[in-house]
Each structure stands twice: as structure tokens, then as C-alpha cells.
Amino acid sequence: MPRYRLTFTSGFITNSSSVIHGFPRELLEHPHVKEFMQKYGVTGGMMPRDVWNRAACTAILVTDEQVNAVRKSMTSDNYGGHIPDTPGLFFVIYGDEYESIAEDLSELIRYHLDLPESTTVYHTEYN
């Protein structure tokens, strides 16, 4: 008599996502931001390995070329990723459940710099 094994896979639903923050490019000249970026060797920016993978989407986009390249790779409407066409911003992207240089930079700017209330910060989540 044949034996059968019943197996099943259970999954879970997560609310994790990738995060995009946009900051005024003038902040790249702030002494604390400059020091951070020099310390980690990212003064010229850092491109993502895979913008659709939360573990590999870490990016610091400081030039128009970097921003445009990543914007073009986010043309899929399935996941909601979007970098606005707003001049004068640089962008930080990271998966919200992974430690990264990009997340640390974003937290430095958002929570540890004494910025004027009028400072515009762009925020969206995707994936």
C-alpha cells in the first residue's frame, strides 16, 4: 500500500516596504552630512543593486544622472515606486527592515539635524 505525505507551506503577510526620502541638495553641504558621507565613502552617491528587492535597494542618489537612472528602472506600476521629478532634491532609498547606510543617513537628516521647519522632505513607500 503506497504511503503519502501531506505537506504544506505557510506564509506570512508583512507590512515591510522600501522607503524613498528626498532631501534638499543643500543638505549635502551640511557639516554632519558631509562627515557621514566621507566616513562611509558615499560622497559620490551609491546606486542600488536591485531597486525592487528590499534587501538590495539601498541607494543614495546625489546626481541627476543617478536619480534619472533609478527613476527609469521604477517604471512598473505594480509596486508603486516613484521618484518625483523635483529639481534640487537628492534621494535615499532603503528597505525598512534592513540596516543600511542609506537608512542611517536618512535618520541623521530627519532626526538629528536642526533643520528649519520650512525644509521640504519627500517621503513615499513602495514594494
pTM: 0.83
Strands 59-61 and 89-95: antiparallel
CA 102 to chain centre: 6
Q: Give the whole-angstrom CA distance, residue 18 versus residue 20.
A: 7
Write out pLDDT tens, residues 80-119: 678 888 899 999 999 987 889 999 999 999 999 988 887 8
Backbone torsion region of residue 30, taken as left when φ is above 0, otherwise alpha when ψ lies between -120 and 50, otherwise beta: beta
- What is the predicted pLDDT for the residue at 74? 85
Cα 103 to Cα 58, 87, 100, 118: the distances in Å are: 8, 22, 5, 22
Q: Give the whole-angstrom CA distance, residue 9 versus residue 52.
A: 24
Write out pLDDT tens, residues 45-88: 999 999 888 889 999 999 999 999 999 888 765 556 788 888 99
Q: Could you tell me which residues come within 8 angstroms of residue 1 by beta carbon, excluding any fewer than 6 positions away?
A: none
Assigned C-alpha cell, 88 = 534640487
Q: Provide the strand spans (E) within 73-113.
A: 89-95
Q: Give the whole-angstrom CA distance, residue 101 versus residue 74.
A: 21
Banded pLDDT at 15 (limits 50, 70, 90): low
